[in-house]
Chain A
Amino acid sequence: GQQVMQIPQYQHVQEGEDFTTYCNSSTTLSNIQWYKQRPGGHPVFLIQLVKSGEVKKQKRLTFQFGEAKKNSSLHITATQTTDVGTYFCVENPTGYNFNKFYFGSGTKLNVKP
């Protein structure tokens, strides 16, 4: 399998604080996806980044794809208790002909009200 490093492993924030998780790959990626898994739930797709240096926003969430397509970040502005969950980056390496998605270790976010 692929090596997808994701940091931090855990993050505890006070509601209203910002949060960032980082994802680094040892290989150049075709694309990268981000998923959120609520406690007791299943991963839910958030966004896909394809282009080098791409930045996408979803309300308070900002996603970035590195220029070299080897790293990515997710930033949440002014966290809310509904943001609680584990955030995964998922890499789809270049050179593969079929859909093979490798999950990062995830960052577990806890938001204190």
Chain B
Amino acid sequence: ETGVTQTPRHLVMGMTNKKSLKCEQHLGHNAMYWYKQSAKKPLELMFVYSLEERVENNSVPSRFSPECPNSSHLFLHLHTLQPEDSALYLCASSRQTSSPLHFGNGTRLTVT
């Protein structure tokens, strides 16, 4: 068990759909992250939340909308995605200060 749970594990959606990815951490961490991992690129940092405040938006298109209602939960709302958005989306958490990342198992997203 990783201590970070992501749902769903797999998601197939059309370009006009709206869906949400969910992440929950049970580690008492204060920071949470969304990363995108696609086949031909390194892991890309998308968003960082620290104490429920967004502190990084790494030039991510507005069709991705994060939400962090509390320090244990993180969502990624998806709408009008493109096929090139198909990837593995990984959630991670860490303590506040430069501590290791704990990843969830990821959501494998396919946009048709």
B55 partner residues in chain A, CB cutoff 8 A: 98
Determine how close the nearest CB of chain A comes to the CB of B41; give it in whole angstroms. 8
B96 partner residues in chain A, CB cutoff 8 A: 99
Q: Is the CB of A99 within 8 A of B50?
A: yes
Q: Which of A9-51 contact B (CB under 8 A)?
A: 30-31, 33, 35, 41-45, 48
B11 partner residues in chain A, CB cutoff 8 A: none
Stretch of B13-21, B75-83, B102-110 that contacts chain A: B102-110
Determine how close the nearest CB of chain A comes to the CB of B49; give it in whole angstroms. 10
* Complexed CA–CA distance, A1 and B50 (Å): 18
A42 partner residues in chain B, CB cutoff 8 A: 2, 90, 103-106
CB-CB nearest in chain B for A92: B98
Q: Is the CB of A100 within 8 A of B101?
A: no
- Tell me whether A100 and B2 are in contact in the complex, defined as CB-CB below 8 angstroms, given that A33-B100, A42-B103, A45-B102 are known contacts: no
Q: Mark A71-102, 1 if CB is under 8 A from B, else 0.
A: 00000000000000000101010000011111
- Asked if B43 is at the interface of the complex by the 8 Å CB criterion, the answer is yes
- Tell me whether A99 and B48 are in contact in the complex, defined as CB-CB below 8 angstroms, given that A31-B98, A44-B103 are known contacts: yes
B106 partner residues in chain A, CB cutoff 8 A: 42
For the residues of A in contact with B, the DSSP-based class is: strand
CB-CB nearest in chain A for B35: A103
Q: Is the CB of A45 within 8 A of B2?
A: no
Name the contact of B98 in the complex, choosing from A30, A35, A41 (C-beta under 8 A).
A30
Chain B positions within 8 Å of A, measured between CB atoms, are: 2, 31, 33, 35, 42-45, 48, 50, 55-56, 58, 90, 94, 96-106
Q: Can you sample 5 A-B contacts with CB below 8 Å?
A: A43-B101, A43-B103, A48-B99, A90-B101, A100-B45
| Given A42-B104, A42-B105, A44-B103, 10 other A-B residues pairs in contact with their CB atoms under 8 A | A1-B45, A30-B98, A31-B98, A42-B2, A42-B106, A43-B101, A88-B42, A99-B31, A99-B99, A103-B45
